[in-house]
Amino acid sequence: MASASGIHLVPSEKRDPAITTTFGTGELMLTALEKGINRLIIGIGGSATNDGGAGMLQALGVKLLDDQGDRIPLGGGGLERLAKIDVRDLDERFNNVKVEVACDVDNPLTGPQGASVIYGPQKGATEQQIRELDQNLAQFAELIRRDLGKDVEHIPGAGAAGGLGAALLAFFNAELKRGGELVVDAVRLGDHVRDADLVITGEGGINHQTIHGKTPICVAKVAKEYGVPVIALAGSLTNDYSNVYEGGIDAVFSIVPGPVTLEEALETGYENIRKTARNLGAVINLQLK
């Protein structure tokens, strides 16, 4: 979803989760339907949105209406006007599609650990907006209970990607799974690493949470089934990252050459990973001589 509704697509000075929308994510799903797929894997992370997946639903035919019967505006702010959910025009082809969701967070839709409070600030929300957006998502959840008979507000992962997890659960009976495990299965990673001499994986930041099902650990688990060593590269390492060694990773390296700001790290990411990979290759080559 981040390829259509991602935070990296919006300059920091223009971020506003009251108006950003998952509509483009819905358009991607619609394009997949046009290609005749019957299994849809959606990665939900890195979003610029806080609309509970409303934009996605609107793109797919769901009518989100105010008390006058008019369509509400796009964005998390528009949910304040929501009074009725009409799913009669939701694309029927989804009845024959299995929807799986790659989700690596356990946040509920609302509350102190919900989408708005935890992730709203990085998406540009002010303190007042955070309260309003949380209330809007709570109202959305109540109408889902009333109009669809489903309670998704407090399900772990419902708050992922600004609440997109909740909409996928409620409207598509989706399964939320750890992203790493889902992708490992989808690409049949074992078939690719069984005869490898070395596996290199990575993550933006490796820390104490990485061991809890994040992609590098999922990759390492598969590699260890075939006795293949694993090296991880990361944009940053925290002081408590070393528990990843217990998860099957044999060595970890940061690609950042020295103290930099986040903006600088992002701007030089490609060059930094190239240089680190070159040095890693040189070490491997020494061992082969």
Q: What is the pLDDT of residues 184-202, one digit of tens each?
A: 988 999 999 999 999 999 9
Q: What per-residue confidence (pLDDT) applies to 45?
A: 87
Q: Are residues 208 and 169 located together in one domain of the fold?
A: no
Domain boundary among 120, 143, 177: 177
DSSP lists the bridge partners of residue 136 as none
**What pLDDT is recorded for position 140?**
98
Is there a domain that residue 133 lies in? yes
Same domain, 155 and 108: yes
51-104 pLDDT per residue, tens: 999 999 999 999 999 999 999 999 999 999 999 999 999 998 999 999 999 998
Kindly state the average pLDDT of the residues 217-243.
Answer: 93
Sort 88 into a burial class: Cβ within 10 Å, 0-12 / 13-18 / 19+.
exposed
Is 100 in the same domain as 171?
yes
Q: What is the mean pLDDT of the chain?
A: 93
Q: Is the pLDDT of residue 212 over 90?
A: no
pLDDT, tens digit, 9 for 90 and up, residues 147-182: 999 999 999 999 999 999 999 999 999 989 888 888
Q: What is the pLDDT of residue 266?
A: 85
Do 126 and 169 fall into the same domain?
yes
The domain that contains 78 carries what CATH number?
A: 3.90.1510.10
Among 123, 144, 177, which residue terminates a domain? Answer: 177
- pLDDT for the residue 3: 95
Task: Label residues 26-48 b or e (16+ Cβ within 10 Å = b).
Answer: bbbbeebbeeeeeebbbbbbebb
Domain assignment present for 53: yes
Q: Higher model confidence: residue 200 or residue 263?
A: 200
What pairing do the DSSP bridges indicate for beta strands 63-65 and 84-86? Answer: antiparallel
Shared-domain flag, residues 217 and 101: no
> Number of folded domains in the chain?
2
Q: Which domain holds residue 134?
A: 2-177
Assess if residue 185 is contained within a domain.
no
Q: Per the domain annotation, does 218 fall within a domain?
A: yes
Q: How far apart are CA 205 and CA 164, in angstroms?
A: 23
Based on the domain organization, do 170 and 81 belong to the same domain? yes
- The region of weakest confidence among 90-94, 99-103, 217-221, 236-240 is 236-240
Do residues 31 and 148 both lie within one domain? Answer: yes
Q: In this model, does residue 287 exceed pLDDT 80?
A: no
For residues 29 and 164, membership in a common domain is answered with yes
CATH number at residue 245: 3.40.50.10350
Radius of gyration of the chain measured on its C-alpha atoms: 21
Residues 171 and 59 in one domain: yes
Does the residue 182 lie in any domain? no
Q: Is 260 a domain residue?
A: yes
Q: Are residues 29 and 171 in the same domain?
A: yes
Rounded Cα distance between 134 and 114, Å, is 8
- Indicate if 168 and 210 belong to the same structural domain: no
Domain assignment present for residue 183? The answer is no
SS3 77: helix
To the nearest whole percent, how much of the chain has pLDDT over 70? 100
Query: Same domain for 30 and 84?
Result: yes
> What pLDDT is recorded for position 164?
97
What mean pLDDT is predicted for residues 268-279? 94
- How does residue 289 score in pLDDT terms, banded at 50, 70 and 90? low
Q: Report how far apart, in Å, the C-alpha atoms of 5 and of each of 20, 217, 253, 258 are.
A: 8, 27, 31, 32
User: What is d(CA 65, CA 86) in angstroms, rounded to the nearest whole number?
Assistant: 8
DSSP 163-206: HHHHHHHHHH--EEE-HHHHHHHHTTHHHHHTT-S-EEEEEEEE
Among candidate residues 151, 177, 203, the one where a domain is terminated:
177
Q: Which residues of 231-267 are buried (b: 16+ CB within 10 A; e: fewer)?
A: bbbbbbbeeebeebeebbbbebbbbbeeeeeeeebee
Q: Is residue 205 part of a domain?
A: yes
